[in-house]
Structure 1
Amino acid sequence: MFRTAWVVLTLAVGLSSRAAAQTGRLFIQHVAVVDVIAGQLLPDMTVEIRGRTIAAMRSDRPFRVTRGATVIDGRGKYLIPGLWDMHVHLSFPAGAAQIFLPVMVANGILGARDMHSFLSPVISLKHAVASGAQVGPRLFVAGTAVDGPNSYLPGARVVRTPDEAKEAVRELKAAGVDFIKVYSSLPRDLYLAVASEAKNEGIPFVGHVPYPVTAAEASDAGQRSLEHLTEVDVGTSSDEAAIKAEEVEAMNQKRGSIPDPNRLKSTFDSAKAAALFERFRRNNTWQVPTLVVLYQERQIADSTLRGNDSLLVYIPKLLRDYWRSLPIDIAAKIVALYAFHAELIGPLNRAGVPMLAGSDSPNPYVYPGFSLHDELGLLVRAGLTPAEALRTATINPAGFLGLTDSLGTVAQGKVADLVLLDANPLSDIANTKRIRAVIQGGRLLKRSALDTMLARARARAAAGGN
C-alpha cells in the first residue's frame, strides 16, 4: 500500500523440492465440515480424498476404508477450505519467496494474489509453485504495476502516452500475468487507455484508484478490485473534489498522498457513501480492505512496541532494519486512517459489496501467512460475522478468480485444498490460527511437517534470506 516496495531488491528464485504427492486414499472421519456459504457446520462427516480430489463426503454411514489408506480421526476438529491471501508482494527483499511461501502454506494459505513484483522472477515463481519445484500456495500474479511518469513506486512499469499504456497491457499479458495492476500516479488518460486495452485483451485490471480518478469512475471503468479502500475513503467525503486536487498536486511532485483521517471523518457524507457502495454492488467492484497493513503501523507509531514482536524471526534482518527506520509521524497518521477505514466495512458489507481478504505483506510488521489471520480478525472487529470473514478468504477468492467449480468450499469433486482446525472458526475467527493439519492438493501435511517448515523458514530468515 503506502510503503510497499520501498526496499526493492531482485528476487532470487531458488527452488526447494516439494514432497511427492500423496498416493492412495485419505479419510478424515467424524469431522465437522464448515459450510462457508451457509455459515453452518456439517457435523460428524467422513471425507474421502483420492489423489488431488475430494472423492466423497458422507454422514449417514461410514466408508469402507481401503487397505493402506491414511485415516485421520476428526473428532473435535473442523475442516475448512484452504485460505487465500489476495494481496501480497513476493519480490521484496531478495530470497523472500523461499521464506514466505512455505510460511504461508504452514498458515493454511493455499492461494495468493501477488500485486506487484518484478515480472520475470514472479512468473518463474508461479510456474515453480505450479510444477511442485517450490513449496507455496497457488499464485495469481500481476507482474509489475503500471504507473505514470511521476511514479514513486520502485519497479513500476512507467508509461507516458496512451499508446505506451496499451502496449504495457499487451506485453504484460503476453508475459503470462493474470491481471493488470494500476497504481496511484497514473494520469487519467493513461488509466482509461489501460482500461480500454484490458477489455480488448480480455484480461482483468485491478489495483489502486489513481489520484486523478475517483472511485466511482474506476468502478464504472470496469476495475475489478480496488485495494486498501484508497480513494473509496475519499469518495465518501463531501470534500472529495478538493482532496482529489491536493492528491494530484502531490502526484505532480512525485509524492504519495495520505488523506487526513480527521478531515475524512468530519466531511463524511452518508448519502454519498451509500450511492458509491451501491455503484460498487451494481458493477461487481470487489474491495480488498487490507486493514492489517494500516493497523500494524502502530508498531512504528508506538515506540514501546518496536522489536517486541515474536514473528520478527520470520523476517530477514535487512527488512527488519528497514521497518525500524521508518518515521513515527507518518505511521501515526496511518493508524488513524485505519480507524476510519474500519468504520466503512460494516456499511460496505450491508450494501452487498463483495470483499476479499488480503494482508499486503510484507509491508511493515505485516507477516506473510500469519497476518492473513489477523486481517480476518480485524474484519470481524469491523462488523463482519466470522462466517462472512471466512468467506472473504475462501469462497470469495474462488468466485473472483472464476474457480468455484474446483475451489472455495469443502465439497465432493473439488480440489482437496483443506485446513483442519482444532476449534470452530464460526464461533471465533481466531480459531483459523489453530491449525492441526493442511491438505494441499490432496497431500497431507501434519502438524509436525508444518512445524518443520516454519523452523526452516526461521533459519533462512536468520541467514538473511540466503
Structure 2
Amino acid sequence: MFYHHPRLILLKNKLKTTVFVLFILFAACKTPEKRSDLIALSNFKILNLADETVLRNEVVLLKEDSIFEILSEEEFKKNYILPDSAIVNGKGKYLMPSLVEMHAHFQPRNPHHKRYLQQYLSYGITQIRVMAGNEDLLSWKDSIAQNLIMGPDLKVAGPLIDGEKPLWGKFHDGPVITNTGHADSLISEIKAKGYDLVKLYERLPAKVYFEFIEAAKKQEMRVAAHIPFEVLTSAKTEEVFNTNSPSFEHFKNFGPLVTKNEVEKIAQPEDHIYYGYRLAEDPDLQKIYEVVKEIKQNQVWTSPTAVLWKNSSDSARIAAIMKTEAYKGLDEGMKNWWRSTIENQSRNMVLNRLNELFLKEMARQEVKLLVGTDFPNPFLIPGYAVHQEIHNLVDMGFSNLEALRAATIYPAQYWEEKDPAPYFTQGRLANFLILNKNPLEHIENTFSIHRVVKKGEFFSPKTLRE
C-alpha cells in the first residue's frame, strides 16, 4: 500500500490549487476578437450634452447604422482587434449629437428643394420635422430612409387642417373643417397614411380645435398647432396651456394673450396679420411672465422660429446673408421672393421684439424649447439658419448647453414617449457631428464642422454643398 506522507499530501493539494487558480486566470484573459464589421471612433472629446462634461478615453463602436458599444480605450484594446482602416482617430476633434430642424417646409414639385435637403445635411442636420405634408413628401421620406435621396430623415405632418376661410386661400391644399364630428376619422386617415403628426391651423373654430386635440390623444398622435384666432378670443389661458397641449409653432399668435391694452379681438379677421402684428405691438411683461410660467408648468413644447423674424427685420443682417456663398447658391425664384419682402422690415421688427421678450423670459424660467426656422421663408438659408437659431437662443440668455439641447436632446424627448436614454447609448442611430472646436465654450463653434455622420456614414460638408 502506498504510504501518504502528510507533507506529500499537503504539497499535492497546493499544486492542485495553483493549477486551478492559473486555469481561472487564463480563462479570464479573453483573446481580443477580430472584427471587420465595426468602426471605432477613438480619441475624441465627447459632448454627450447630459451636462457640460467632456468625456475622454471612451471609444464609440459603430455597427452598420447604429451604436454597437461604448467602452473605455483599455477595454477596447483588450476586447477587439480592428483593421487600421476601421479606426477613426479623433485627436483634437469633438464628437456630439447631430442637429434637428423642428420646423421647416418643402415643396416636392419645386425641383430645387430636393437639393436643399442635401444642404441641410451639410450643416449637420440629420432630421427635419416637415410641418405641412402631402403624398409626395411621404414618398421623399421613404426614399431617404432607403438611401435613394440624400438628406436628413423626415418626420412629416399631415396636410394643414384649417377652417373657413383657409389662411392661405387658394394655396391651401388640406382639409377645411368648420364643424365637429370629423376629428376621429380624419386623424385615423392621417395616421394610416404614415404621417407622424397632425397640424392644426389658425382659422379652425375653437370647438373643432379642442375636438382634434382630444381625438389625437386617444389615437396617440402628436399635434402641432398655431393657436387659432377663435381660441385666442374665447379660451382661458389654462385651456390653451395644459398637459394635453400640442406643440405650439411661432410666437406670432401669442400677441392677444399678452397685449397691454384692451383691443378688439376679432374671431376671424380678414387680415391674418392682425393677430400676428397689430396685437403684438404693446406687450405686457407681466402677462408674458404668466404665459411662460404656464408653458413651463405644463411642459408645453414650443418652436419659436425666432430666427425668421430676426433675419427679416434687420437690414444689416439681410445684407450679410445676401453676401454669403450659401445665398448665392439658392435658386433665383427663391431669391426674388425674399428680396420682394424686404419692405416688411418694420412689421417684422414688432414680431422680433415679441419673440425676444418671450425668449428672455423663457431663459429666465429655464423652459425647454425646440429649434426650428420655418424655411423656406425669407432669409433662412437651409441648414445655416438652424445654427443661427441656436446662437440666437444664447443671445437671449440661454446657456450654450441649453441652446444645443434645443436642437439635439429635446427633439429626441419630443418624439419619445418616455425620457430617452443618454444619447451615446447602445442601439441609438449613429448620427453625430465631428467638430474642430467646442461649442460649449463658444456657441459659434457649431459651424466648425469637420464631418457629418448620419447612420454611420461619414460626409464632408464641402462635398455635400458641391
Q: Same fold (TM over 0.5)?
A: yes
Pick one of 140, 144, 166 that aligns with 1:125. 140
Q: Does 1:218 align with 2:240?
A: yes
Question: What are the ranges of 5 or more consecutive residues in structure 2 without an aligned counterpart?
Answer: 1-35
Return the offset for 1:389. Answer: 0.4
- For the 8 Å contact 1:147–1:183, the answer to whether it is kept is yes
Deviation at 1:189, TM superposition (A): 2.0
Match of 2:153 among 138, 142, 156: 138
Matched, 1:291 2:302: no
The letter of the residue matching 1:433 is: F
SS of the counterpart of 1:158?
coil
Other-structure match for 2:116: 100
- Structure 2 residue 444 is matched with structure 1 residue 423: no
Q: Which residue of 1 aligns with 2:297?
A: 282
Are 2:259 and 2:280, in contact at CA under 8 Å, matched by a contact in 1? no
**In structure 1, the residue corresponding to 2:397 is in which secondary structure?**
coil
Distance 1:393 1:378 in 2: 12
Match of 2:7 in 1: none
Question: Contact (CA 8 Å) 1:30, 1:73: kept in 2 or not?
Answer: yes
Distance in 2 of aligned mates of 1:404 and 1:435:
31
Within 2, Cα distance between the matches of 1:254 and 1:273?
Answer: 22
What is the alpha-carbon distance in structure 1 between the residues aligned to residue 68 and residue 214 of structure 2?
Answer: 43
Matches within 5 A, 1:377-396: 377-396=391-410
Matched residue count: 421
The one-letter amino acid of 1:148's match is G
- Identify the residue that residue 104 of structure 2 maps to in structure 1: 88
Deviation at 1:149, TM superposition (A): 1.0
* Equivalent residue letter for 1:51: E
Deviation at 1:56, TM superposition (A): 2.7
CA displacement at 1:386 relative to structure 2 = 0.7
Aligned residues of 1:406 and 1:415 also touching (Cα < 8 A): no
Inter-partner Cα distance in structure 1 for 2:455 and 2:419: 15
Greater mean deviation of Cα atoms: 86-95 or 393-402? 86-95
Q: Map of 1:260-409 to 2, 5 A cutoff?
A: 260=278, 263-265=281-283, 268-270=284-286, 272-298=287-313, 307-326=322-341, 328=343, 330-402=344-416, 409=423
1:77 aligns to what? 93
| In structure 2, distance between residues paired with 1:434 and 1:302 | 21
Deviations 1:371-400, CA, capped at 9 Å, x for gaps: 101110001101111100000011100000
Partner deviation per Cα, 1:429-463 (whole Å, 9 max, x = no partner): 11111111111111222x2xx322211xxxxxxxx
CA deviation after TM superposition for structure 1 residue 176, in Å? 1.5
Structure 1's 93 and 123: CA in aligned 2 closer, same or farther, altered over 3 A?
closer
- Contact 1:84/1:110 (8 A) holds in 2: yes
* Percent sequence identity over aligned pairs: 24
| Partners of 2:176 and 2:254 in 1: CA distance | 24
CA contact (8 A) 1:151 1:254 kept: no
Are residues 298 and 275 of structure 1, via their aligned partners in 2, closer, same or farther at CA, if it must alter by over 3 Å? closer
Aligned partner of 1:6 in structure 2 is: none
Question: Corresponding residue for 1:242?
Answer: 263
Q: Which amino acid aligns with 1:26?
A: I
Note closer, same or farther for the CA distance 1:109–1:403 as it changes in structure 2 (3 Å cut). farther
Take 1:253 and 1:354, find their aligned partners in 2: how far apart are those partners?
32
With over 3 angstroms needed to count, the CA separation of the structure-2 counterparts of 1:188 and 1:262, relative to structure 1, is: closer
Alignment match, 1:198: 216
Contact kept? 1:78, 1:420, Cα under 8 Å: yes
Paired AA for residue 394 in structure 2: V
Q: CA RMSD for the aligned pairs?
A: 2.6
Cα distance, 1:221–1:169 mapped onto 2, change above 3 Å: farther
Aligned 8 A contact 1:152 1:255 in 2: no
Residues 408 and 438 of structure 1: CA distance in aligned 2, closer, same or farther (over 3 Å)? farther
- Structure 2 CA distance, aligned partners of 1:432 and 1:108? 9
The answer for the alignment partner of 1:26 in structure 2 is 39
In structure 2, how many angstroms separate the alpha carbons of the residues matched to 1:183 and 1:408? 34
1:433 aligns with 2:447: yes
SS in 2 for 1:411: coil
Q: Distance in 2 between matches of 1:385 and 1:290?
A: 18
Change beyond 3 A, Cα 1:283–1:257: same
Distance 1:130 1:183, change over 3 A: same
Cα–Cα, structure 1 residues 71 and 256, in superposed 2: closer, same or farther, change >3 Å? farther
Secondary structure of the residue that 1:61 maps to in structure 2?
helix
Quick one: structure 1 residues 312 and 253, their matched pair in 2 at CA, closer, same or farther if it must change by over 3 Å? Answer: closer
> Contact 2:157–2:198 (CA<8 Å) still a contact in 1?
yes
> How far does residue 262 in structure 1 lie from its aligned partner after superposition?
7.0
* Aligned position for 1:158: 176
Is 1:227 the counterpart of 2:243 in the alignment?
no
2:117 alignment partner, SS class:
helix
Q: Which residue of 2 aligns with 1:186?
A: 204
Q: Please give the secondary structure, in 1, of the residue aligned with 2:181.
A: helix
Please name the residue that 1:451 is paired with.
462
Task: State the AA in 1 paired with 2:415.
Answer: L
The answer as to 2:51 corresponding to 1:35 is: no
